[in-house]
Amino acid sequence: MSIVVTAATGHLGNLVIDELLQRVPADQVVAVARNAAKAAPIADRGVEIRIADYNDPAALAQAFRTGDTVLLISGLEPNRRDQHQAVIAAAREAGVARIVYTSVLGGPEADFDLAADHIATEQAILDSGLPYTFLRNGWYHEVYTDQIAGQLEHGVVGSAGDGRIASAARRDFAAAAAVVLTGDGHEKTAYDLNGDTNYSLTEYAAELARQSGQEVAYSNLSPAEHAQVLIGAGLPEPVAQLFVGVDDAIGRGLLAGRGSDLSRLIGRPTTPIADSIAAALSSR
Ligand SMILES: NC(=O)c1ccc[n+]([C@@H]2O[C@H](COP(=O)([O-])OP(=O)(O)OC[C@H]3O[C@@H](n4cnc5c(N)ncnc54)[C@H](OP(=O)(O)O)[C@@H]3O)[C@@H](O)[C@H]2O)c1
């Protein structure tokens, strides 16, 4: 009866493992990864590794045991909806005690294209009859702060207008996942997880300018212009359209925040965007 974390080798997965090891002994934690070499640093911390790709039902069948609590971290590939279904089927077959899923802020109310796979996955979990917790994660600060080099050179570009973003640091979301995985009373619950405060991309650019001492402005483009910029930067057209759809959702207030579940779960305020900008600038 372990706590099993899928996609453990990703940014969020590594942070969840780290947060779990601050709360429970390593022999209670299992990491599922598709790449053993990438999982080696996690194994070095005393965590059992089970190798399974989301595309490999036979391997997934070996990834879970009766009574496990499973964190399904959403994938990134175009067929992730089917991949998640395969994970859920394997978890159900194994008889896990609960499945925890990293979904999207707003759940079924998130009407933009990027959210559709999350809504379908929530429904698949409900249909499975497994006890569940949905972690409806808002945006990571790192979605923006990972782009700081380009932002300092070209400015901040988007089509979100004055829409506000209640993002939080990946570490905050990881801490919430660890709390929900190790604690009681989270069954049949969906948490909307977002930062305590929100900001517009104009305010984000102003804070980056203030901290860097450089001129940085936000250029608000039309959706078509925004798509062209993203395609020009190398994104395939369908992916560019997904991001334009996200900015449209931001413009309509869908990522502006839905309460304080995140700070309540982690027992502290969420990380301010200014702190994540400072961390990103100092690691350049
Ligand atoms: N809320 C947000 O702002 C936001 C932003 C970006 C992404 N996300 C979602 O949150 C998830 C976690 O974010 P992250 O920052 O940790 O992403 P990440 O660092 O790119 O990690 C993605 C993880 O998914 C694993 N994975 C992908 N395809 C897989 C497959 N077929 N089988 C098994 N594992 C697979 C990767 O394995 P490898 O390590 O082997 O590559 C990696 O561990 C993402 O996958 C995405 O669904 C949310």
Residue 38 alpha carbon to ligand 1 centre in Å: 13
CA distances from 52 to 77, 229, 233 (A): 15, 36, 32
194-247 pLDDT, tens digit each: 999 999 999 999 999 999 999 999 999 999 999 999 999 999 999 999 999 999
Share of the chain above pLDDT 70, in %: 100
User: How high is the pLDDT of residue 70?
Assistant: 98
User: How high is the pLDDT of residue 171?
Assistant: 98
Q: Is the pLDDT of residue 1 over 90?
A: no
247 contact partners, CB below 8 Å, separation of at least 6: 158, 159, 160, 163, 223, 226
- Provide the mean pLDDT of the chain: 98
Six-digit token string for 48: 């059992």
HSE-up (13 A, CA, CB side) for residue 107: 15
What residues are in contact with ligand 1 under a 6 Å CB criterion? 7, 9-13, 34-35, 38, 53-55, 73-77, 83, 102, 137, 139-140, 143
CA distances from 11 to 63, 99, 174, 222, 254 (A): 20, 20, 10, 32, 24
User: How high is the pLDDT of residue 207?
Assistant: 98
Residue 265 alpha carbon to ligand 1 centre in Å: 23
Q: Is the pLDDT of residue 143 over 90?
A: yes
User: How high is the pLDDT of residue 96?
Assistant: 98
Dist. CA 284–CA 271, nearest whole Å: 20
Nearest to 103 by CA among 147, 73, 124: 73
Q: Is the pLDDT of residue 277 over 90?
A: yes
What structural domains does the chain harbor? 3-139+168-193 (3.40.50.720)
Overall average pLDDT of the 41-46 stretch: 98
User: How high is the pLDDT of residue 211?
Assistant: 98
| Mutate which of 4, 6, 12, 70 for ligand 1 pocket (most atoms within 8 A of beta carbon) | 12
Per-residue confidence at 43, pLDDT binned at 50, 70, 90? very high
Six-digit token string for 16: 């969840």
Overall average pLDDT of the 108-119 stretch: 98
User: How high is the pLDDT of residue 161?
Assistant: 98
155-203 pLDDT, tens digit each: 999 999 999 999 999 999 999 999 999 999 999 999 999 999 999 999 9
Overall average pLDDT of the 141-146 stretch: 98
Overall average pLDDT of the 108-137 stretch: 98
